[in-house]
Amino acid sequence: MRPEAPQMKALRLKSWKSEPVLENVPVPEPGPGEVLVQVGAAGACHSDLHLMHDFEDAALPWQPPFTLGHENAGWVHRVGQGVTGLEPGDPVAVVGAWGCGACRRCLDGLETYCERPDLAPVPSGGGGLGLDGGMAEYLLVPAARHVVPLPEGLDPVDAAPLTDAGLTPYHAVRRSAAKLTPGSTAVVMGVGGLGHLAVQILTATTAARVIAVDPRGSARDLATECGAECVLAPGPDLVPEIRDATDGLGADVVLDMVGSDETLAAAAASMRPLGDLTIVGLGGGTLPVSFFGLPYEASVQTTYWGNRRELVEVLALAARGLLRPETTIYTLDDAAQAYRDLAHETVTGRAVVVPTDSYRG
């Protein structure tokens, strides 16, 4: 009789518009070129709430069921045939977007914008986004290039949220780096899991003055701790307050980590000519665009995640103490509660789920 395959716990989304379920599934076996990671921590992202509550069949090029968790770090457990340079026990972070690895964008390191999704493990997705993610005891990574060694002294619990909540704002800041010069101002709309790291990234890597906006007093306090020079609450006086804080000029760069109608309207009204507005949050808002609707030569763009090279840079910042995620820790048994708390906006910083038998913090 063949021995029963070892089992592990995993938090799985079984269907659209449903709550995730913790259940037992087989521990994956790494095939050629693959890496099996023992999960040390997995971040709970607000975008997962959209997967649970907002999407329907055919809305995305992939479907449930799959294990949640696209922010992951841990330790190499086993490697498949042909994998070199990684040994069991090595601490690693996982690059979340898994492209085909062969198209022009992927060869440039931009797997988030893979041009051959038909050749990717899952079209426009990755672990926790169509394929099984890290809200489990083990995570199967389909290619060794998606595994990044952790710098010395950086724990997986701190590294996991940086793979998205740190990487996404880092990519957005780098995109506008030329406008974040001495004397410039950057506004961060929303100081949650991504926003508090955006403030730190702006402070650590640019000369811009940082203004942070959030309705929660605790979030504004966190923004101050992270380096914001001015913190404001949304409301009818927000735009005049930003104008006043910038000597009437407006912001050079606005990072909207919320993306609602209200934040987009305030962001557009707060910009100066030649400014950038980057929409990061999935709040479902829209921004009317017309000739006189935006400052002259203002740019509006969306971004999606970041790339492997940028993740290496983010991890290096964290290892030097220049980037520190504020985390609220949950066990895997309580992972569903992490999402409920996230939905009710009671999480400080980033919610991080830690399998109870792998936490070494």
Do the domain assignments include residue 142?
yes
Average the pLDDT over each of 161-165, 177-181, 282-286 and give the range with the smallest value: 282-286
Q: What pLDDT does residue 278 have?
A: 98
**Mean pLDDT, range 106-133, rounded to an integer:** 92
pLDDT, tens only, 6-29: 999 999 999 999 999 999 999 999
Task: Give the residue numbers spanning the domain of 275.
Answer: 167-302
Question: What is the pLDDT, as a whole number, of residue 59?
Answer: 78
At residue 195, the pLDDT reads 96
pLDDT of residue 122 exceeding 50, the answer is yes
What average pLDDT score do residues 335-361 get?
83
Same domain as 156, residue 25: yes
Mean pLDDT of 177-202: 97
Average pLDDT, the chain: 94
pLDDT value for 361:
40
Claim to verify: residue 201 and residue 285 sit in the same structural domain: yes
Identify whether residues 147 and 186 lie together within a single domain: no
Regarding predicted confidence, which is higher, 102 or 2? 102
Identify the band that residue 360 occupies on the pLDDT scale cut at 50, 70 and 90: very low
Domain assignment present for 23: yes
Domain-located, residue 154: yes
359 is a domain residue: no
In a domain, 360, yes or no: no
What's the total number of domains in the chain?
2
The mean pLDDT of 153-180, rounded to a whole number, is: 96
What would the 3-class secondary structure string for 81-148 be?
Answer: CCCCCCCCCCEEEECCECCCCCCHHHHCCCHHHCCCHHHCCCCCCEECEEECCCCECEEEECCHHHEE
Same domain assignment for residues 288 and 345: no
Give the model confidence (pLDDT) of 243-264 as tens digits. 999 999 999 999 999 999 999 9
Tell me: the pLDDT tens digits for 36-74? 999 999 999 988 998 999 888 877 889 999 999 999 999
Per-residue pLDDT band for 348 (boundaries 50, 70, 90) equals confident
Residue 2 placed within a domain? no
Can you tell me the mean pLDDT for 296-322?
Answer: 96
Q: State whether 127 and 219 are in the same domain.
A: no
Q: Region 294-307: what's the mean pLDDT?
A: 95
CATH number at residue 79: 3.90.180.10
* pLDDT at 132 > cutoff 90: yes
pLDDT per position as a tens digit, 69-90 = 999 999 999 999 999 999 999 9
Residue 361 lies inside a defined structural domain of this protein: no
